[in-house]
Amino acid sequence: MIKQITNFIKILNSDVKEEEIALGIVLGLFAGFLSIVPFNFILVFILLLILKANFSMFFVSFAIFKLISLVIDPLGDVIGYFVLKLKFLHSFFSFLSSIPLMNFTQFNYSVVMGDFILAIVLTPFIYILSIKLVKNYREKLKEKVQKFKIVQALNLTNFFKIDKEG
């Protein structure tokens, strides 16, 4: 646990672009919300490999959003059920179900569809908020965090070094 926290702080203190961190967080959002189905997690992970996203922030945000998804799954179920029952989308969903790999995504389940829609709606907000929070941390809080006694104690060992070089 301490190692994950130090990695998180290392990334915030590093020269990693805010956009890469935000993209890792957004992909963690999708992985957390859609990890009910392993195939969907694999698709998100492939995107993580293709796009220039931060791996550590992906895994941290995946864990956080997985916990959040457990709480909001009932909302996702309501949203997904509503969307799946829309008459004008029936032909579109029939077309999707005829594509062999689409059956593995299980988007025909209301919770999966609803969580996917929630993730899409939240994406721009999470992306922009992530960039702003990282910039704010780097401009205003970075020096204060470095002065915490726990951070100074962890910096004494190379194993937990939290400085900019990482």
Where in the chain are the domains? Answer: 2-155
**Cα gap 62→68, rounded to integer Å:** 10
When pLDDT is averaged across residues 26-40 and rounded to a whole number, the result is 89
Predicted local distance difference test score (pLDDT) of residue 165: 46
Instruction: Report the mean per-residue pLDDT for the chain.
Output: 85
Angle, CA of 128, 130 and 133, to the nearest 5°: 110
CA distances to 74, 93, 164 from 140, rounded to whole Å, are 38, 48, 16
Confidence of residue 115 (pLDDT cuts 50, 70, 90): very high
Per the CB < 8 A criterion, the answer to whether 36 and 111 are in contact is yes
Asked whether the beta carbons of 161 and 153 are under 8 A apart, the reply is no
pLDDT > 90 fraction of the chain, expressed in percent and rounded: 49
